């Protein structure tokens, strides 16, 4: 991205530095008045005018999503580039770090909760299938700094002799297909499985949605929890799983029953009827050969 891609209002005057709107394109997406309201609600609003006002610090943190490989100073310079000749603070990295700690994470969490959610309308066919809004859940891992302030919680991997690698953060999110709008997200240490984090996100589902998900081993409780939300679901299974055909359907799919592995007092082994659709995927390899998999 270019130097001025985040901030593009060179006509600002000195007082505008602390008024809504001087930080350009980000303020077109996230209203400064909303940021102010979130800061007020979370008690993070500054009591006196600062060279690094709380609103500016929030946009500074958000800018890292665009310039994740840049230093603190570089991100701040990109954020304020459009102010042109207007006098603006050029804080050092330690000042920016202290400002982040002063504002804290609560305003960012609240801002995410306010803004997260589906955005596609019915005219966007890529986000819908037969009336269902398509959403997907998946996870990834992110490297965290190898520092004692981090590794007490985000532990490093332990080998036979010593620890190794960077500590990892596991991130799981539900997104709207087509628009990639985030509905909800959860993260934490990677020694907690993806399925555990995925369960925390199911409150974002409703009866208008069809959830797409990857194969989860022994995921009966997850599937049952999704069904309880009223949302539809389409989960990829492995070819090793061969469910019993209970009722064949005209299109070649069939109905079967999946059973919980845990016996529950007074309820026995819980059952859930699902529809199985078998699909063959042809993959073209780097050497030009083609391979078909179930």
Whether residue 125 has pLDDT greater than 70: yes
How many domains does the chain divide into? Answer: 3
Identify whether the C-beta of residue 253 lies closer than 8 Å to the C-beta of residue 277. Answer: yes
* Segment of 6-15, 19-28, 139-148 carrying the highest mean pLDDT: 139-148
Statement to judge: residues 20 and 60 lie in one domain: yes
Statement to judge: residues 124 and 86 lie in one domain: no
Statement to judge: residues 272 and 169 lie in one domain: no
Task: Look at residue 291 in the predicted model and tell me its pLDDT.
Answer: 73
Statement to judge: residues 141 and 176 lie in one domain: yes
Statement to judge: residues 140 and 214 lie in one domain: yes
Q: Evaluate whether residue 134 is within a structural domain.
A: yes
Statement to judge: residues 181 and 88 lie in one domain: no
Task: Report how far residue 170's alpha carbon sits from residue 193's, in angstroms, rounded to the nearest whole number.
Answer: 8
Statement to judge: residues 247 and 203 lie in one domain: no
Q: Evaluate whether residue 285 is within a structural domain.
A: yes
List C-alpha distances in Å: 123 to 120, 134, 136, 283.
Answer: 8, 14, 19, 32
From 115, 134, 162, the end of a domain falls on 115
Q: For the beta carbon of residue 240, count every other beta carbon within 10 angstroms.
A: 6
Share above pLDDT 70 across residues of the chain, in percent, rounded to a whole number? 83
Whole-model pTM? 0.78
Q: Evaluate whether residue 248 is within a structural domain.
A: yes
pLDDT in tens, 166-219: 889 999 999 999 999 999 999 999 989 899 999 999 999 999 999 999 876 667
From 60, 86, 115, the end of a domain falls on 115
CATH number reported for the structural domain that contains residue 204 in this entry = 3.30.420
Name the band, by pLDDT with cuts 50, 70 and 90, for residue 119. very high
pLDDT in tens, 149-169: 888 898 887 766 677 778 899
- The residue with greater pLDDT, 242 or 218, is 242
Identify whether the C-beta of residue 229 lies closer than 8 Å to the C-beta of residue 243. Answer: no
DSSP string spanning the chain?
--TTSS---TT--GGGGGSSSTTTHHHHHS-HHHHHHHHHHTT---SS--SS-HHHHHHHHHHTTT-TTS-HHHHHHHHTGGGTTS------HHHHHHHHHHH-SHHHHHHHHHH-S----TT-GGGEETTEEEEEEEEEEEE---SHHHHTTSPPEE-SSSEES--EEEEEEEEETTT--EEEEEEEETTS-HHHHHHTTGGG--TTEEEEE---TT-HHHHHHHHHHT-EEEE---TT--PPP-EE-TTS-EEEEEEEEEEETTTEEEEEEEEE----EEEE-TTS-EEEE-
Statement to judge: residues 146 and 206 lie in one domain: yes
Statement to judge: residues 82 and 34 lie in one domain: yes
Statement to judge: residues 24 and 78 lie in one domain: yes
Q: Evaluate whether residue 126 is within a structural domain.
A: yes
Whether residue 18 has pLDDT greater than 60: no
Q: Evaluate whether residue 5 is within a structural domain.
A: no
Average pLDDT, the chain: 82
Q: For the beta carbon of residue 97, count every other beta carbon within 10 angstroms.
A: 12
Q: Evaluate whether residue 2 is within a structural domain.
A: no
Task: Report how far residue 193's alpha carbon sits from residue 219's, in angstroms, rounded to the nearest whole number.
Answer: 12
Statement to judge: residues 131 and 108 lie in one domain: no
Name the band, by pLDDT with cuts 50, 70 and 90, for residue 8. very low
Q: Evaluate whether residue 6 is within a structural domain.
A: no
Whether residue 292 has pLDDT greater than 90: no
User: For residue 282, what are the domain limits?
Assistant: 237-294
């Amino acid at each position: 991205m270019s130097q001025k891609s985040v901030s593009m209002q060179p006509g600002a005057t000195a007082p505008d530095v602390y008024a809504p709107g001087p930080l350009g394109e980000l303020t077109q997406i996230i209203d400064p008045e909303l940021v102010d309201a979130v800061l007020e609600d979370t008690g993070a609003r500054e009591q006196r005018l600062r060279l690094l006002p709380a609103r500016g610090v929030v946009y500074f943190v958000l800018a890292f999503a665009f310039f994740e490989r840049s230093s603190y100073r570089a991100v701040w310079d990109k954020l304020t580039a459009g102010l042109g000749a207007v006098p603006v603070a050029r804080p050092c990295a330690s000042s920016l770090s202290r400002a982040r700690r002063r504002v804290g994470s609560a305003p960012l969490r609240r801002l995410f909760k306010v803004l997260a959610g589906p955005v596609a309308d019915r005219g966007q066919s890529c986000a819908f299938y037969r009336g269902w809004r398509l959403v997907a859940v998946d996870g990834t891992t992110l490297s965290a700094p190898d520092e004692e302030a981090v590794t007490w919680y985000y532990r490093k991997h332990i080998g036979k002799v010593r620890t190794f690698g960077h500590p990892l953060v596991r991130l799981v999110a539900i997104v709207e297909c087509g628009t990639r709008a985030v509905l909800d997200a959860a993260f934490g240490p990677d020694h907690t499985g993806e399925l555990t984090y995925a369960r925390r996100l199911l409150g974002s589902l409703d009866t208008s949605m069809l959830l797409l998900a990857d194969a989860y081993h022994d995921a009966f409780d997850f599937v049952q929890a999704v069904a309880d939300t009223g949302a539809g679901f389409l989960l990829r299974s492995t070819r090793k799983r061969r469910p019993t055909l209970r009722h064949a359907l005209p299109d070649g799919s069939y109905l079967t029953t999946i059973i919980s592995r845990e016996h529950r007092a007074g309820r026995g082994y819980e059952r859930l009827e699902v529809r199985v659709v078998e699909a063959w995927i042809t993959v073209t390899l780097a050497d030009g050969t083609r391979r078909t998999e179930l």
